[in-house]
Chains A and B, each alone.
Chain A
Amino acid sequence: GQNIDQPTEMTATEGAIVQINCTYQTSGFNGLFWYQQHAGEAPTFLSYNVLDGLEEKGRFSSFLSRSKGYSYLLLKELQMKDSASYLCAVRNTDKLIFGTGTRLQVFP
């Protein structure tokens, strides 16, 4: 079966660092994506990992361990506009399998 798990909700303070975890068990793996989705809007692409290790992109970083079926998204210097849902998705051939998403609330 296909299973992707993320925490449902997280809270953090403006200026802090937050780590959103994602674990997966899928029949195939061609990479892992993180998307950001503000309420009522479409998801937008944040990052992609296919090899083990850390990918850094400005305030956002994403880590992958294929042997552990584990990824995390790290958000630094949090801003109020970072309040959104963060979706983890595993690529399996031409398809993406999404987790249920983590709703992050950033407080002043």
Chain B
Amino acid sequence: SQTIHQWPATLVQPVGSPLSLECTVEGTSNPNLYWYRQAAGRGLQLLFYSVGIGQISSEVPQNLSASRPQDRQFILSSKKLLLSDSGFYLCAWGLTGGVSSQPQHFGDGTRLSIL
């Protein structure tokens, strides 16, 4: 069966510090991978998605970036965090190839607090 791992679970960082969040998927090949952010009491905002190694699409302009160095690894990064980067970050995977009925599956999330 497929599993998705995301870490760390919580993170407290000072403004201006760098960030690296990692997500890995097991049990499937060539998944679509996604990074979302959820502000307190708000819906999920898609930040980045990837349909293959090295292929990254950015959905919103911001000071975050994403990379996919391996098929089942997705990394969210920042060189300098802003206060507005606080939130709940979720990684998700889905099947590629237009299998519309298959849902995206989420990792447990990282709660990021910027001080």
Nearest chain B CB to A61 CB, angstrom units: 17
A56–B72 alpha-carbon span in the complex (Å): 33
Nearest B residue to A46, CB-CB:
B103
Q: Using a Cβ cutoff of 8 Å, how many contacts connect chains A and B?
A: 58
CB-contacts of A36-90 with B (<8 A): 40-45, 48, 50, 87, 89
A43-B106, A94-B32 in contact; A31/B46 too (CB < 8 A)?
A: no
Checking B36, B43, B49, B103 against A99 with a beta-carbon cut-off of 8 angstroms, the contacting residue is B43
Q: CB-CB < 8 A to B107: which residues of A?
A: 42
Checking B46, B96, B103 against A95 with a beta-carbon cut-off of 8 angstroms, the contacting residue is B46
B44 touches A91 (CB 8 A): no
A residues near B (Cβ < 8 Å) are 4, 30-31, 33, 35, 40-45, 48, 50, 87, 89, 91, 93-101, 103
